[in-house]
Amino acid sequence: MNRIEKVFNTINDKGEKAFVPYIMAGDGGLANLGERITFLERAGATAVEIGIPFSDPVADGPIIQEAGIRALKNNISLRDVIQAIRSIRPIIHIPIILMTYLNPVLAYGRDRCFEDCRNAGVDGFIIPDLPIEEEELLLEKADREGIELIRLVTLTSPVERIQEIAQRGKGFLYAVTVNGITGTRSEFHSQLGDYLQSIKEVSSIPVLAGFGISNPDQVRSISSYCDGVIVGSKIVQLFEQNKLDEIEALIGAVKKVNITG
């Protein structure tokens, strides 16, 4: 069983909610990657999503784009990140999920990429520009190496498509909470709760909400409708500002969820 499945089984048994922070690999250099993941794990993160810097990040908002630019200036590549993860994996216990785009994986070489990721201790991939209609490009290789492809659904996804996508996964389903790119938001669609609950009704795997979540109140509110949240831009920003106490407050907010569904 993949680490992602294991951790969500444990959370479900305890009746808890998940918190998955996103960080950009190489932002500030690769030397701090292990330190940041260790901090997030100790703060209570369920898993960690690690972004790979890319020159055309179509799903990323300004904060993450800027972090990617800083990392690219350090010449950070997917290969560099995988090697770094392999060196720090022995001290990290939570699942590690890479967020990248299709092009870097193809440039690396599909078979070699997933083989190296398995050897490094990577548990999953999020690839926003890989629709389910094209998953055959990577799915066999990922399955063979025991690496889970985390699929995304959006506010405009029909119920039938959500069901199809959910049936393909074993880790969790990534429910995008906004129409657009990543970035902090002061408010969300008035029907967001209904949207998340409707996904929960048709999904056999955990549902995590992401994009735009940036404060403890949003963490608590949105988590009450699903199985947890993914927070990216705010985590990246707080690491850049060295506000570690605020990161701890964000992660701790899932422990105080008012469960309404």
Which CATH number fits the domain that encloses residue 24? 3.20.20.70
What's the chain's average pLDDT? Answer: 91
Residues with a known catalytic role: 49, 60
Helix (H, G, I), strand (E, B) or coil at 112: helix
Please, which pLDDT band fits residue 183 given cuts at 50, 70 and 90? Answer: very low
Give the pLDDT score at 192. Answer: 86
> Does residue 70 form part of some domain?
yes
**Does any domain span residue 261?**
no
Residue 57 lies in a domain: yes
Predicted pLDDT at 186: 47
Least-confidence region, from 52-61, 142-151, 159-168, 243-252: 52-61
H and E: helices and strands count for the chain: 12, 9
Phi, psi of 139 (to 5 degrees): -60, -45
Among the ranges given (18-22, 53-57, 74-78, 226-230), the one the predictor scored with the smallest mean pLDDT = 53-57
Quick one: what percent of the chain has pLDDT higher than 70?
93
Dist CA 237 CA 242 (whole Å): 9
64 in any annotated domain: yes
Residue numbers of the domain that contains 214? 3-256
Is the pLDDT at 181 greater than 60? The verdict is no
Q: What pLDDT is recorded for position 187? A: 53
Spatial neighbors of 51 by CB under 8 A, at least 6 apart, are 22, 23, 24, 25, 60, 64, 67, 68, 98, 99, 100, 232
Calpha distance 245→164 (Å, rounded): 40
pLDDT for 179 beyond 70: no
Number of domains in the chain: 1
User: Is residue 190 scored above 70 in pLDDT?
Assistant: no
Residue 175 counted as domain residue: yes
Residue 75 belongs to a domain? yes
